[in-house]
Structure 1
Amino acid sequence: MQLLCPNCQSELTRSGESKRHCQACHSDFILNIECNECGEALQRLKACGAVNFWCDHCHELKSKSSANYRLVEA
């Protein structure tokens, strides 16, 4: 999934597991991954190359396609 900078719409590059950087406007962001049902932060689960998420609030496994992704300026 390619994310765009909310400030200038340029592509963001990865600078860590949840960090993103815009080389065009030199902005830094943190990628928050939230539950699509309750809005709480999800825990990342990795196994055999697959990525899923766990919601502590809903007590459910969530797929990466159902999660909400939100960029917050760092």
Structure 2
Amino acid sequence: MSENCPVCQHHLVARHEGFHCVDCHRDFAAQPVCPDCGQSLQVLKACGATDYFCPNGDGLISRKRVVFKPLIESL
């Protein structure tokens, strides 16, 4: 993971629910992104399973391939 804080551009630390910036003390939610087209994925949850769907034509995406980016809006 080599994401930078969208506010101060320092390195973000991954947390189970998102990202944290140690420098500016902000938390960011994790947004699933398609590894092929770079667009946001829809999260499908059913029967304890989480699947990811790309509405831009790439279909279902394996959770092993999903890339997580910080949301710009702080938590």
Task: Output one character per residue of 1:3-62: Cα deviation in whole Å (capped at 9) or x when no partner.
Answer: 8x9557656353xxxxx464x663211211100100110000011111111100025011
Which amino acid in structure 2 is aligned with residue 44 of structure 1?
Answer: V
Aligned counterparts of 2:19 and 2:58: Cα–Cα separation in 1: 32
The percent identity for this pair of structures is 26
Q: Which has the higher contact order (CA 8 A, sep 6+)?
A: 2
Aligned residues: 67
Structure 2: runs of 5+ lacking an equivalent: 5-9
CA pair 63-28 structure 1, distance change in 2 beyond 3 A: same
Q: Equivalent residue for 2:7?
A: none
RMSD: 2.9
8 Å CA contact 1:38–1:58 kept in 2: the answer is no
Which amino acid in structure 2 is aligned with residue 63 of structure 1?
Answer: S
TM-score (norm 2): 0.63
Structure 1: runs of 5+ lacking an equivalent: 15-19
Dislocated runs of 4+, deviation >6 Å: none
Structure whose residues are more often strand by fraction: 2
CA pair 60-29 structure 1, distance change in 2 beyond 3 A: same
SS of the equivalent of 2:69 reads strand
Q: Equivalent residue for 2:68?
A: 69
